[in-house]
Structure 1
């Protein structure tokens, strides 16, 4: 499984990000490219400790634990998966500023590759560093495929 901590995968993701255009057509879903860029920043901010959404109740945490491993395994995510309400883009976003912000977060995340640990995820709990890297790669790959890059 590819990881955003791997230098080759990291460069691939940055290259694909660069290929994305404001008018790139989505293959599924409702977000436009600018909203997708904004959406992809949330999970990176969580991993970097920059965003701390409310923890779900015990029932929801138990539900999340059932599919935790699907976040970082080698199977691509299917189109149209639900997302947390905090990451649903409901208003227009500026493509260039969102693209720049996402690139900086990707770089910041990659820079953490040798730190040993990242904060627990508020919904899924602890991840190992390899799991964090795989999950972040998988999320970006999912949305870049959504827009054909």
Structure 2
């Protein structure tokens, strides 16, 4: 079930799950450590809140992303373990646990505070215009997948 990240109670639940993690929490699958996972989870928020910091996808790439990838990202079906990710989401260098954690929590709380109305009809960097429900699904599903990756 996709929970509503625009709901303060759900935001608190997600933050509580994040707060159960520490720098040495072991993953159940994949290759990232916790700090890298936090950095990875911050990527969609960076694309959302600071899109000017990234090179926009070409017309053809955006068409492909909207036509094929968006369906997977905004569907309620959970991601599979060890699925490949977009190269721009790959985090292979060491990251600071506390900094990435604080940024992720700030991003989650900012999203909740802005609310569904802010996201309704907002353009996504890769997928074009999206409904608030699609934004919610994208954010929650991604976070939940990676929090489950670390057992919380």
Tell me if both proteins adopt one fold, taking TM over 0.5 as the criterion.
Answer: yes
- What is the Cα deviation at residue 134 of structure 1? 1.7
TM-score with structure 2 length normalisation? Answer: 0.86
Query: Where does 1:4-19 land on structure 2 (aligned, <5 Å)?
Result: 4-19=5-20
CA 1:67/1:86 → structure 2, altered by over 3 Å: closer, same or farther? closer
Matched, 1:148 2:129: no
Unaligned ranges ≥5, structure 1 = none
- Give the match for residue 70 of structure 2: 68
Deviation at 1:138, TM superposition (A): 0.6
RMSD of the alignment, in Å? 1.8
The within-5 A match list for 1:1-149 is: 1-47=2-48, 49-52=49-52, 53-64=54-65, 65-117=67-119, 119-149=122-152
Q: Which runs of 5+ in 2 are unaligned?
A: none
Instruction: Report the CA distance shift for 1:70/1:8 in structure 2 as closer, same or farther (over 3 A).
Output: farther
Question: Distance between the aligned counterparts of 1:77 and 1:50, measured in 2?
Answer: 25
Aligned residues: 148
CA distance in 2, matches of 1:42, 1:66: 20
